[in-house]
Amino acid sequence: MIPVLIVLNAGSSSVKFQVYDMPDGTEPRLVWKGFYEGLGGAAHFVVRHAGGVDLDEKSWAPGEEFGHEDALMHLVSWLRQHQEGRSLAAIGHRVVHGGEAYSSPVLVDEAVIQKLETLVPLAPLHQPHNLEPIKIVRRRLSGMPQVACFDTAFHQTQSDIASLFALPREMRERGVRRYGFHGLSYNYIASVLRDYDPHLAEGRVIAAHLGNGASLCALDNGASIATTMGFSALDGLPMGTRCGAVDAGVVFYMLREMKLSPEEAERVLYTKSGLLGVSGLSNDMRVLRANAAANADARRAIDLFVYRITREIGSLVAALGGIDGLVFTGGIGENDVATRSEVIARLAWAGFTLDEAANRAGGPRISSGPGPTAWVIPTNEELVIARQSCSALGARQAKLAS
Ligand code: ADP
């Protein structure tokens, strides 16, 4: 029997999953991938072969109230029916916040769940949804090994100064500091950079994860030394619906003068801002690009996005003391030719020259000339979760054997 691992990435109404074979001592191998969406309403399940060919799908009517627990149990039973020579050995989870306690993946037990629950106030829109499947598995598949892999962990290499806000000391002592997110994505980029350019992997690199959420990470010899997201996933770049960095005074103005409740202000900053808020049209870059010529607000939203990316790159170049390479990843970074070319055009001062044909072709290298290099590298956060889960489980095996 080949042991298999399920990797779960759970959101409020969706669960993305991947299933990996875990051959002894080698890289986990993707077998199936898919998702449940519309959970709690009209749910829909799709599963594909690793190569992308559709394998199975199913829909549930809105009245069936098919939720997260139903989805997980459905997935486990689907696996049992299709696993041929495989057996479910463990589940790896994406968890957005590991706080100060976890700088690496952790095997889940009751104490870990309790610790992760205390971090819910730090990531109220993500952490509860990440923890829910962990609790469901503990309840319904008692004894199943589970590993939590954190978006914050990769940034724990940052210096004390890089993670500090200029707030009173007691705030820092109560966990108010910069954590940083998208760490699973940056971990993947750092892990594969050597395959693209061994010299660059040891150099000063800025990775730009531009998706619905967006951030930048400064990598020095593969380690995170600074990032644009901070205490929460709101900070830094404007995103699909999140504002990115705003003056904290704006929040007090919203509360005191505009009479928004804290919940209303939070909703504005997380769900009504960013590309959607500025354009008044969409959070989807494809829609904005299609309308930019005729719609001035769509153009402004894109221009602000590009301007903020290049300004923050300037700040990270200063933190790194120079730049050897820039990597684009995430839905926009991997697919939007125009965003890449607009960003690189604004970085001529740093010595970047765009190779337009390579950019149109999607890379991997999209720069030319002697200056710093620019790249498009598709991210793979699920593979990082699979790798981290295998190594945490391997360490447990070794401990049990000794
Ligand atoms: P998430 O952060 O939710 O994982 P993704 O990384 O999938 O999101 O990125 C979603 C974003 O990628 C959306 O803004 C979408 O418009 C953008 N995107 C996806 N494909 C393209 C494309 N071909 N051209 C431009 N933008 C794209």
Q: Is 331 in the pocket of ligand 1 (CB under 6 A)?
A: yes
**Ligand 1, pocket-test mutation among 184, 336, 376, 382, most atoms within 8 A of CB:** 336
As a whole number of angstroms, the distance between CA 131 and CA 98 comes to: 12
The first and second tokens of residue 354, run together, are 């765009």
The first and second tokens of residue 138, run together, are 């503990």
Q: In the prediction, which pLDDT does 327 show?
A: 98
* Angle (nearest 5°) at CA 209 between 243 and 215: 35
Q: Is 335 annotated as a binding residue?
A: yes
Task: Read off the pLDDT of residues 340-393 as tens digits, 9 standing for 90 and up.
Answer: 999 999 999 999 999 999 999 999 999 999 999 999 999 999 999 999 999 999
Distance 283 CA to ligand 1 centre (A): 9
In the three-class reduction of DSSP (H, G, I as helix; E, B as strand; rest coil), residue 225 is classed as strand
Q: Is 311 in the pocket of ligand 1 (CB under 6 A)?
A: no
Number of domains composing the chain? 2
As a whole number of angstroms, the distance between CA 270 and CA 263 comes to: 10
Distance 285 CA to ligand 1 centre (A): 7
Nearest atom (ligand 1) to Cα of 285: 16
Q: Which residues contact 152 (CB under 8 A, 6 or more apart)?
A: 96, 97, 98, 99, 102, 179, 180, 181, 183
| Average pLDDT, integer, range 238-245 | 97
| 220 annotated active-site | no
Q: Which residues pair with 106 in a beta bridge?
A: 148
Q: In the prediction, which pLDDT does 401 show?
A: 72
Instruction: Mark whether 131 and 32 lie in a shared domain.
Output: yes
Question: Is residue 340, in this structure, part of any structural domain at all?
Answer: yes
Assess whether pLDDT exceeds 90 at residue 63.
no
Instruction: Mark whether 216 and 125 lie in a shared domain.
Output: no
Dihedrals phi, psi of 270, to nearest 5 degrees: -90, -35
Question: Is residue 192, in this structure, part of any structural domain at all?
Answer: no
**Ligand 1, pocket-test mutation among 14, 18, 284, most atoms within 8 A of CB:** 284
Instruction: Mark whether 216 and 146 lie in a shared domain.
Output: no
Assess whether pLDDT exceeds 90 at residue 395.
no
Domain span at residue 36 reads 2-150
Instruction: Mark whether 377 and 263 lie in a shared domain.
Output: yes
Instruction: Mark whether 230 and 366 lie in a shared domain.
Output: yes
Q: Is 380 annotated as a binding residue?
A: no
Question: Is residue 402, in this structure, part of any structural domain at all?
Answer: no
Question: Is residue 342, in this structure, part of any structural domain at all?
Answer: yes
Instruction: Mark whether 212 and 356 lie in a shared domain.
Output: yes
Q: Is 381 annotated as a binding residue?
A: yes
Q: In the prediction, which pLDDT does 280 show?
A: 98
Q: In the prediction, which pLDDT does 398 show?
A: 67
Assess whether pLDDT exceeds 80 at residue 3.
yes
Q: Percent of the chain scored above 70 by pLDDT?
A: 99
What b-and-e string marks burial along 263-284, b requiring 16 or more CB atoms within 10 Å of the CB? eebbebbbeebbbbbbbebbbb
| Average pLDDT, integer, range 241-263 | 97
For residue 52, what is the DSSP state?
A: S
Question: Is residue 7, in this structure, part of any structural domain at all?
Answer: yes
Instruction: Mark whether 204 and 85 lie in a shared domain.
Output: no
Name the least confident of 25-34, 259-268, 330-339: 25-34
Instruction: Mark whether 227 and 336 lie in a shared domain.
Output: yes
Q: In the prediction, which pLDDT does 124 show?
A: 85
Nearest atom (ligand 1) to Cα of 212: 2
**Which CATH number characterizes residue 300's domain?**
3.30.420.40
**Which of these is catalytic: 24, 56, 151, 247?**
151
Assess whether pLDDT exceeds 80 at residue 402.
no
Distance 241 CA to ligand 1 centre (A): 13
Q: Is 238 in the pocket of ligand 1 (CB under 6 A)?
A: no
Per-residue CA distances from 250 to 123, 214, 258, 264, 269 (Å) = 20, 21, 10, 14, 10
Name the least confident of 21-35, 145-159, 285-299: 21-35
Distance 333 CA to ligand 1 centre (A): 8
Q: Is 285 in the pocket of ligand 1 (CB under 6 A)?
A: yes
Q: Is 286 in the pocket of ligand 1 (CB under 6 A)?
A: yes
Distance 196 CA to ligand 1 centre (A): 23
Ligand 1, atom 19: closest residue by C-alpha = 331
| Average pLDDT, integer, range 146-150 | 98
